[in-house]
Structure 1
Amino acid sequence: MVRSTGANASPAVSGTQSVERALSLLSFFTDEQPERRIAELVELTGLGQSTVSRLVATLESLGYLVRDERSGLHRIGPKVVSLAGIALNQSPVHRAARQPAQNLAHELGLGANVAERHDDQMFYLCHFEGPLAPRAFTLTGRLAPLHSTAMGKALLCGLTDDQVRKTLGRAYPAYTPHTITALDPLLEALQEVRTRGYATEIEELAFGRACLAAPIRDRSGDVVAALSVSGSLSAMDLPNRQDSLAAKVVEQADQISTSLGFMAHARLGL
């Protein structure tokens, strides 16, 4: 709930709260609810209808929201997409990984993804569809859990057990019967990732889906991102293709790491 502004608030405070209110409106547009009516935003924010209408009109005039004339519903506007593009283009990982990920999707026909860790979730930096793994939407910009995904395990493998515990806390939601739902088995899985250099996931987040991911390291050797290929169980065919897919993904992840300044021989003291 957004707090109301007092009648005696100073202009600076009032201006700051107007910005907070406007940004809070944008946060209510989600994958589940990509379009909103003014009345919905009034209910969600607890603000008056005149205030919400004024803020929405301002956001619309600036291109942050657009209104469908037929339905009267508002949705995220092109200005947000433009800013997102600027943010992505400023990411060293995105710049280094975009082409290798696209090449993987083209060569293997699978989905190829790059993500980094944001606190206790992973954030998709880029996503490409192959003909064997089509999607009607992009994963770029979406968040996903760490404990139930191959990319999440690849991102966590660079942390110590204590760091994993502090990062994830005690909540391990189950998305399918195959999801890891406790710390100890997750730590065992992460040790396996460190040993073989890649992570796998079979129906841990969603039924009928599989994924294979490898960590990406920066100049210091820290895991800063992960690269994966994903698709349906039949398209991935891990029982028969795991070794060959792992070789491809690890090779491309290593190339991205090298682009970010990582030198494996220096880290090993050779």
Structure 2
Amino acid sequence: MAAESGAGTGTGTQAVERALSLLTCFSAEESELRSSELSLMTGLGQSTVSRMVSTLERLGFVVQDDRTGLYRLGPTAVTLGSVALNSSAVFRAGRQTLQNLAQATALGANLAELNGSTLFYLCNFEGSTAPKSFTMAGRSAPLHATGLGKVILSGQSEEFVHEYFKRGLAHSYTPRTITRLDEMIAALDEVRNRGYATEVEELAFGRACLAAPIRGHAGDVVAALSVSGPLSAIDLRQRQQELGLRAIEAADEISVALGYTASVVGGKRHIARI
């Protein structure tokens, strides 16, 4: 929580830090906030928040609902978010492939990469059997409790995985969540062997996904994609082989676009292990 005095070395730096601290209060869970809530979340005085929010509103970073008085992120923030996404090579290489995957499977298709110690969603598309009323872009999720996260963990060093669990990040979300290091190590070995990861009610009840790795030009795992949806729609008992094949092929297509050598891409190699 930021102190009222700020941490900047000068007035200008302090003002920037305070303004950014206000913007970072908004999230998928807290998309609309009152000025009093912003004050509480940042530790800034109410008068400081009012002054800062007024400036942010004038610049289009936030807008205020005339009826409720609540603030939400504005068009300038949306524009900057779009610029950031379009500057991502993974996003540019994967967007159309992901859209095609959602249409072909009738499931949700998701693209994500590693951000520190969490999963960061770049984009998603909805299939007809897995509709969403919101976008996943910009959201985060735990690595250990998602198929996408397990794929990304499978490409990290042993030290990274051990440190993740040592820091106590492997929280339980359902009884199926993997929270023990030895179980995760076994799960990651399985991901590497068959070329994809599954997630069945590990993050949320009634949901499942199947994810495959996306590799950069050097062959390292730089991102992951998945197909996801309600258990009844994804039906892994009947569709796992089909969806595994589709996910691997789509991931390989993006990997090639990122410069991964086609002769090394594991489509056939992985398919044989499904």
TM tier, smaller: over 0.9
Q: Which residue of 1 aligns with 2:111?
A: 114
When structure 1 is superposed on structure 2, of 244-253 and 44-53 the one drifting more is 44-53
Change (3 A) 1:251 1:215: same
Of 66, 90, 93, the match for 2:90:
93
**Paired letter, 2:177:** T
TM-superposed CA distance for 1:32, in Å, is: 2.1
Percent identical across equivalent pairs?
A: 57
What does the per-residue CA deviation read over 1:102-131, in whole Å, with 9 as the maximum and x for residues that have no partner?
001011110000000112110000100011
Q: TM-score, normalised by structure 1?
A: 0.94
Q: Which residue of 2 aligns with 1:182?
A: 180
Distance in 1 separating the partners of 2:80 and 2:161: 32
Q: Which residue of 2 aligns with 1:16?
A: 13
Secondary structure at 1:213 match in 2: strand
Distance in 1 separating the partners of 2:29 and 2:72: 12
Of 36, 52, 55, the match for 1:55:
52
Secondary structure at 1:115 match in 2: strand
Distance in 2 separating the partners of 1:266 and 1:135: 36
Q: Which residue of 1 aligns with 2:166?
A: 169
**Paired letter, 2:5:** T
**5+ long unaligned stretches in structure 1:** none
Of 30, 35, 40, the match for 2:37:
40
Name the count of aligned residue pairs.
265
Q: Which residue of 2 aligns with 1:84?
A: 81
Q: TM-score, normalised by structure 2?
A: 0.92
1:198 matched to 2:196? The reply is yes
Q: Which residue of 1 aligns with 2:5?
A: 5
Distance in 2 separating the partners of 1:113 and 1:85: 17
* 8 A contact 1:89–1:95 mirrored in 2: yes
What does the per-residue CA deviation read over 1:126-150, in whole Å, with 9 as the maximum and x for residues that have no partner?
1000110001111111000000110
When structure 1 is superposed on structure 2, of 210-219 and 30-39 the one drifting more is 30-39
What does the per-residue CA deviation read over 1:143-188, in whole Å, with 9 as the maximum and x for residues that have no partner?
0000011000111111232221124434211100000011110010
* 8 A contact 1:5–1:14 mirrored in 2: no
* 8 A contact 1:39–1:49 mirrored in 2: yes
Distance in 1 separating the partners of 2:264 and 2:140: 33
* 8 A contact 2:36–2:46 mirrored in 1: yes
* 8 A contact 1:93–1:260 mirrored in 2: yes
Distance in 2 separating the partners of 1:236 and 1:200: 11
**5+ long unaligned stretches in structure 2:** 267-274
Distance in 1 separating the partners of 2:38 and 2:31: 12
Change (3 A) 1:267 1:109: closer
Distance in 1 separating the partners of 2:48 and 2:255: 49
Secondary structure at 2:238 match in 1: helix
